[in-house]
Structures are given as structure tokens and as C-alpha cells.
Amino acid sequence: GRRVVVTGASSGIGLALTRRLLAAGENVVAVDRAACPERAVETLIADLADAAALGRALSALTGPVHALANVAGVPGTAPAELVLAVNVLGARLVTEALRPRMGAGASIVNVASVAAHRNVLGEPAVDALLAVADRAGLADWLARHPLTGPQAYDTSKAAVVRWTRALAGRWVGSGVRVTSVSPGPVETPILEDFRSTMGSRRIDHAAEIVGRHGDTDEVAAVVAFLLGPDASWVNGVDIPVEGGLLAARAARET
């Protein structure tokens, strides 16, 4: 099997993805602040917000990496700086650390969100965020773009979508693909946090529109597809996985 690194593998979408990859005979290495409950999986315990600790944990990994899923994320109940540190800086640090271990045919999949569509900042601000190198730079950026936790969450996911496209363009000649998925509401522990920041009515209204919330495995299936060779001609795109929520909203507005 191939060797797939999965961040956020200890819960929710990342755990469903891990189980799916294991069932397909892949080898999974988890990167998470909590140990992955799957016994076949080695967990590199690290806080994605702590660059030094993350670097130490990842340096324990030797040999090739065939695929990387950046799944870990924190909701807007956390302070804005932490949301951006984990969802944007953390994903970038993991990707930059593992990129030298990846060759042609490798695939990186980032988990964004339909929340990316709610981002209130324009592209220049998001590009400036993507140029931030560390927590100090993040604090400077936030001083220029003050955001609440929920706004930081939306912005972090818009940044993930934009970063995905930029990386894919940069690496297209190397045979390393980079794609993202944007889930709508999925039944995981994070959904309660979204209910508290966005209001349960708004979250559960999404389920009324499309019939239900998503299941973790419905997102994991798309991520697994993108990570594997069946998606060899899919690159640089974001795939919404939301049961038609965006289409339904657009239809209501016209």
C-alpha cells in the first residue's frame, strides 16, 4: 500500500478517511494532538498551532510519502488567531515539511468548507494571509484585518481554497497534484461548535434544504478518490461536497 499522512485523523472526517484508507490496504500515519483510535495507525502527536513541536514530530517520519490529507481544523469558537494558526499555518507547515518526501504521482488534498463562500475579505487580504510565515506575522496580519473567531474560520477556509490552487499551479510540472474539498455541514463533534457560533437555526436550516446533514464517510470517499490514482487528471480544483446546498441557495436567490 501507499503511505498516506492524514492530519486530524483522530476524529470525524479524518477518522472516517483513515478507516477507508486502511480498508483499501493503504498505510496511514496520523498527525493529531490526540492519538488515532485505529490501532494500525501510528500517530505523530503534535499541536498544529505549535510550529516547533510540529516540526519535531514530523522529523520522526522518514521515507517516502505518497499522499497527504490536511483534514485537521478548529471551528470559530476558538480565538481568531488560533483558528488561522491551525487551519492555515498548520496545514502549510505540514505540507512544506512533507513536500520533499513526495514524488510524481503524489497527491495532496486539503479540507476547506462551504464557509469559504462567506469570507468577507477580498483576494489581496487572503493572499497577504497566505504570505504570513509565523504566529508573529499572523498577529500583524490580524491587527490589519480584525476578525471574530467565526469570521476567521470563514477566511481560513477561503485561504485554503486559494492556497490549493496556487500550489497546484506551482507544482504542476512535478507530478504532485493538489486539490481541496469543501464540505457542507457534516455530523461530527465540530457541528456543535458551528451551532454555537452560527446559531443552530442556520446550521439546521442547511439540513432542511438538502434533507439532512452529511455523513463523515461521504466526505472521506471524495477525499480518498482525490488522494488516489483514479483522480490522476484532477488538479488544482475545489470540489464542494454538500448535497447540493450551494445550488439550492442559488436557486432560492434567483
What whole-number distance in Å separates Cα of residue 28 and Cα of residue 252?
42
- Amino acid present at 177: R
Least separation in angstroms between CB 91 and ligand NAI: 9
Burial category of 52 from C-beta neighbours within 10 Å (exposed 0-12, middle 13-18, buried 19 and up): exposed
137-142 own/partner pairs: CB under 8 Å, 24+ apart: 138/81, 138/84, 138/85, 138/89, 139/81, 141/84, 142/80, 142/81, 142/84
Q: Can residue 8 be called a binding residue for ligand NAI (CB under 6 A)? A: yes
Pairing of strands 42-45, 27-32: parallel
Q: Which of residues 182-211 bind ligand NAI (CB under 6 A)?
A: 183, 185-186, 188-191
11 near ligand NAI, judged by CB under 6 A: yes
Q: What is the DSSP letter of 180?
A: E
Among 74, 89, 102, 158, binds ligand NAI (CB under 6 A): 74
The answer to whether the beta carbons of residues 71 and 9 sit under 8 Å apart is yes
Under rule CB under 6 A, residue 217 binds ligand NAI:
no
Site for ligand NAI contains 78 (CB under 6 A): no
Residue 34 interacting with ligand NAI (CB under 6 A)? yes
Binding of residue 4 to ligand NAI (CB under 6 A): no
Residue in the structure block whose three cell numbers are 490589519:
144
Of 91 and 168, nearer to ligand NAI (C-beta) is 91
Q: Is residue 184 annotated as a catalytic residue, yes or no?
A: no
Site for ligand NAI contains 10 (CB under 6 A): yes
Which one of 153, 163, 194, 225 is the catalytic residue? 153
* Other Cβ atoms within 10 Å of 220 Cβ, number: 26
Of the pair 184, 228, the CB lying nearest ligand NAI is at: 184
Cβ atoms 26, 1 nearer than 8 A: yes
Minimum CB distance to ligand NAI, residue 175 (Å): 26
- Return the residues of window 85-114 that contact ligand NAI according to CB under 6 A: 86, 111, 113
Q: Which residues face 109 on adjacent strands?
A: 69, 179
Closer by beta carbon to ligand NAI, 12 or else 149: 12
- Give the residue numbers annotated as catalytic, written as ranges: 153
Binding site for ligand NAI (CB under 6 A): 8, 10-14, 32-34, 47-49, 71-74, 86, 111, 113, 183, 185-186, 188-191
